[in-house]
């Protein structure tokens, strides 16, 4: 790198991809300056202490360290002595069919539904190439649980409507293994362990990136002045890239713009309802609730109830219903969650949550994110690979959950993508 630049590498964004890139560059002896628009690190890993929850820790975005057996963040937490809670062992799962608990026979059939869905997906992909995830459900018309798996894997987990979501992208990024929760919140873990020793400039949004300059120079223009470097790793979301909030000069190549368009942001909204008294709906602490979805495209709002013995339930809604509720406002989101619980527990729900505080998350309103995470449109699963390709003879790279396989949409995926981009910069 040329010493006349302000730094060797500019990293735009201090989320997991930016932090992963910065640590990898530092290990290789390169100067790196991280330009972060907000006043904190972590991006969508954010542990807050909302007054609505009396200051208890609450993860507003990401919650789990997925696939813990292979997740690169788990050894970091373990080496630091952090307590990691096994989410799968903590929770008791309850499934309803209509307004009643599922029978043991129904639960056994439900447990096998994922294998049936995956096998049907693989058959369709082999026969037809990529298809929307909803096509799998149509191929399993006689399976009573196919629409439920679709609802989980599409809107709930991948925050995408199944008729607009690439089945190949789903299969490329299907998660396995156990899920861990750092005690005190995953965002707090990131803030505590992953920012040390890095040159991070907060409150410094990049408004224009001039790239392909002399000797590969890149120049990041910010309200606090310009920063020059020999390379830049951009880790903002595809929502920000598509919005034009970060301008590129020259304009990005058509292949990059097409990749961004093929990876739109999905949305997931959390709705928290606090109990107003001692009634806990006869549910054990840390229980999770879902229900059978009768048809493709049906809405599923799973709930986590009384986590860690606390006095609230947390519902999760994704895809188009989440966008619709975001536009309708918090009152509509709360009413929707209450109606979902009322279908299962009757009017008792209104008494349980009367007078209790409510909390609704709003990642769609964050100008530095503009959604939860991205998904690939049908036929566009390779857009993640194309977005990760170096530009400008390797002086401009993109990183983030959008650029990773097989951990798209996760903190691990973002971290690994940042480290991969850093390795490419070093390889030059």
Residues 204 and 241 in one domain: yes
3 belongs to a structural domain:
no
| Cα angle for residues 218, 412, 133 (degrees, 5° grid) | 100
Residue whose token pair is 């696939």: 67
> What is the domain extent for residue 22?
9-42+194-263+375-427
pLDDT on residue 114: 97
Residues 384 and 403 in one domain: yes
- The CA distance from 252 to 250, in Å, is 6
* CATH number for the domain that contains residue 254: 3.50.50.60
Residues 276 and 167 in one domain: yes
Burial 313-348 (b: 16+ CB within 10 A, else e): bbbbbbbbbbbebbeeeeeebbebbbebbeebbeee
List the structure tokens of 426. 């070093």
Q: Is the pLDDT of residue 3 over 80?
A: no
- The CA distance from 376 to 378, in Å, is 6
pLDDT on residue 175: 86
Question: SS3 for 258?
Answer: helix
- The CA distance from 156 to 289, in Å, is 13
Q: Give pTM, 2 decimals.
A: 0.97
- The CA distance from 363 to 266, in Å, is 10
72 belongs to a structural domain:
no
Residues 140 and 285 in one domain: yes
Q: Is the pLDDT of residue 2 over 80?
A: no
290, 378, 235, 68 alpha-carbon torsion, rounded to 10°: 40
59 belongs to a structural domain:
no
56 belongs to a structural domain:
no
Average pLDDT for 147-161: 98
Residues 209 and 238 in one domain: yes
pLDDT on residue 87: 83
pLDDT on residue 89: 85
* CATH number for the domain that contains residue 139: 3.90.660.10
150 belongs to a structural domain:
yes
358 belongs to a structural domain:
yes
51 belongs to a structural domain:
no
What proportion of the chain, given as a percentage, has pLDDT over 90? 95
**pLDDT tens digits for range 235-245:** 999 999 999 99
**pLDDT tens digits for range 357-392:** 999 999 999 999 999 999 999 999 999 999 999 999
Residues 250 and 305 in one domain: no
Residues 143 and 275 in one domain: yes
Residues 243 and 302 in one domain: no
270 belongs to a structural domain:
yes
**pLDDT tens digits for range 6-56:** 999 999 999 999 999 999 999 999 999 999 999 999 999 999 999 999 999
- The CA distance from 158 to 174, in Å, is 10
Q: Considering only CA atoms, which of 326, 327, 353 is closest in space to residue 340?
A: 353
Neighbours of 370 (CB within 10 A): 21
**pLDDT tens digits for range 58-110:** 999 999 999 999 999 999 999 999 999 998 888 899 999 999 999 999 999 99
What proportion of the chain, given as a percentage, has pLDDT over 70? 99
**In total, how many domains does the chain have?**
2
């Amino acid at each position: 790198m040329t010493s006349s630049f302000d730094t060797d590498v500019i990293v735009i964004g201090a989320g997991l991809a930016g932090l992963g890139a910065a640590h990898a560059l530092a290990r290789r002896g390169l100067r790196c300056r991280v330009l972060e628009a907000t006043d904190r690190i972590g991006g969508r890993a954010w542990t807050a202490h909302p007054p609505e929850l009396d200051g208890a820790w609450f993860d507003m975005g990401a919650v789990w360290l997925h696939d813990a057996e292979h997740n690169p963040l788990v050894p970091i937490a373990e080496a630091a002595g952090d307590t990691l809670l096994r989410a799968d062992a903590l929770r008791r799962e309850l499934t309803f069919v209509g307004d009643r608990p599922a029978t043991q026979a129904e639960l056994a059939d439900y447990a096998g539904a994922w294998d049936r869905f995956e096998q049907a997906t693989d058959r369709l992909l082999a026969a037809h190439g990529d298809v929307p995830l909803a096509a799998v459900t149509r191929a399993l018309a006689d399976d009573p649980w196919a629409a439920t798996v679709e609802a989980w894997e599409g809107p709930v987990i991948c925050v995408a409507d199944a008729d607009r979501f690439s089945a190949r992208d789903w299969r490329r990024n299907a998660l396995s293994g156990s899920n861990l929760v750092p005690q005190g919140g995953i965002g707090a873990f990131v803030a505590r362990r992953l920012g040390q020793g890095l040159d991070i400039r907060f409150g410094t949004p990049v408004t224009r990136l001039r790239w392909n300059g002399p000797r590969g120079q890149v120049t990041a223009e910010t309200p606090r002045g310009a920063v020059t470097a020999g390379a830049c790793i951009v880790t903002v979301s595809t929502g920000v890239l598509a919005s034009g909030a970060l301008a590129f000069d020259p304009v990005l190549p058509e292949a990059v713009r097409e990749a961004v368009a093929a990876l739109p942001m999905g949305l997931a909204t959390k709705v928290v309802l606090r109990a107003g008294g001692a009634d806990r709906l006869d549910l054990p602490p840390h229980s999770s609730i879902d229900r059978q979805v009768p048809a493709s495209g049906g809405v599923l709002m799973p709930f986590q109830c009384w986590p860690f013995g606390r006095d609230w339930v947390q519902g999760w809604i994704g895809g188009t219903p989440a966008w619709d509720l975001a536009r309708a406002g918090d009152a509509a989101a709360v009413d929707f969650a209450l109606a979902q619980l009322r279908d299962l527990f009757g009017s008792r729900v209104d008494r349980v949550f009367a007078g209790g505080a409510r909390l609704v998350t709003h990642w769609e309103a964050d100008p530095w994110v503009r959604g939860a995470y991205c998904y690939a449109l049908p036929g566009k699963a390779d857009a993640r690979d194309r977005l990760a390709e170096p530009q400008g003879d390797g002086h401009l790279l993109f990183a983030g959950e959008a650029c990773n396989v097989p951990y798209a949409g996760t903190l691990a995926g973002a971290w690994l993508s940042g480290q991969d981009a850093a390795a490419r910069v070093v390889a030059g």
